[in-house]
A and B are shown apart, each in its own frame.
Chain A
Amino acid sequence: MKHSSKIGLLISILFLIIFSPFVESKEGIYEVSNELMCPVCQGQTVAESNSELALSMREVIKNKLNKGESKEEILSYFVNLYGESILSKPPIKGINIFLWLVPPIILVISIFFWVIRVRRNKSKTR
């Protein structure tokens, strides 16, 4: 290996060592903040919102990630403060099961009635 390519490789490794935690942290902040709804915004997650509260929430998420807290720990911290409505994806338990099941049930029922109607129409035309 040439001397210049060795230096290039060394610089690349150093660059990765220095900047990889920041990249990781930024992705981590997005991942966690995208699972939290902004309490003062309409239909925006903390990742999407630029409100002051969302900025503060992202700051807290960054601090907690730097301390080594897991995504679940951070989410449960926010649920403890703001309640389960803070989650962008409500957990599939309790009354939330209803929220998850109603759309597919309505879809299945609609398809069922649509099929019946189409068959009836066909038999009438015959």
Chain B
Amino acid sequence: MRLNFLYISSIYILFSLLPVYSIDSKFIPINRDIKINQEMIILDGELNNKKFVLKNIDKLTIVNFWASWCKPCVAEIEELNNFQNYIIQEKLDVTLLGINIFDRLDDANKFYLKHHPVFEMLFDKERTISIEFAVAGVPETFFIKDNKILFKYVGKIDKEILKEGYDEAFK
């Protein structure tokens, strides 16, 4: 009787711990094809209205969605800059893009001037790109390759997580 109780309890504990240990990844898998052809404004601090068309994402591209009013977005900009410098230094085959959403162009531009990102920053004037990616909030970072969203990271990201994501994308 006592043995049976111990046996059932150990099986119960084992199964309860299983989901905890199965979450070994920081990234949320998506694996969804994406077809985009969207014109966006390049943020350059001068409001020159230079355009950038985001389409055919064949090469690994890391897209970080942000807004000027979002505190974690301010906190992660240094890390994104560090990762961009690492891309150049290590000659990695990846593009890092920042897309401003849920915001005003003026505020996005002020953010640019204040924080000096060293990677391409875009403003979504159509206000629809967030839906194509099914963004639920900011900041969120998506890893896209061969026109497919592989996975995303939710929340403030840092250089180490970006490196992990880069490695994960080539697995």
Contacts and interface: CB of A to CB of B under 8 A. Distances in A.
Interface of A: 39-40, 52-53, 55-57, 59-60, 63, 81-82
A57 B135 CA distance: 11
Given A52-B102, A81-B131, A82-B134, 8 more contacts: A52-B67, A53-B130, A53-B135, A53-B136, A55-B127, A56-B130, A60-B131, A81-B134
B136 to A, nearest CB: 5
A114 B115 CA distance: 68
Interface of B: 67, 101-102, 126-128, 130-132, 134-137
List 9 A-B pairs, minimum CB-CB distance, nearest first. Answer: A52-B102, A81-B134, A60-B131, A59-B127, A56-B127, A60-B128, A56-B130, A39-B136, A56-B131
A40 B134 CA distance: 11
Mostly helix, strand, loop or mixed at chain B's interface?
loop
A57 B136 contact: no
Nearest to B138: A52
Nearest to B135: A53
A57 B132 CA distance: 10
B81 to A, nearest CB: 25
A83 B128 CA distance: 18
B26 to A, nearest CB: 21
Contacts of B132: 81
Give the most central of A40, A52, A59: most B CB within 10 Å: A52
A53 B126 contact: no
A81 B36 CA distance: 14
B74 to A, nearest CB: 17
Give the most central of B126, B127, B132: most A CB within 10 Å: B127
A60 B131 CA distance: 8
Contact of A40 (B101, B126, B128, B137): B137
A56 B132 CA distance: 10
Given A52-B102, A56-B102, A63 B128 contact: yes
Given A40-B136, A40-B137, A82-B134, A53 B127 contact: no
A53 B132 CA distance: 12
Nearest to A78: B131
B157 to A, nearest CB: 19
A114 B131 CA distance: 50
Contacts of A39: 136
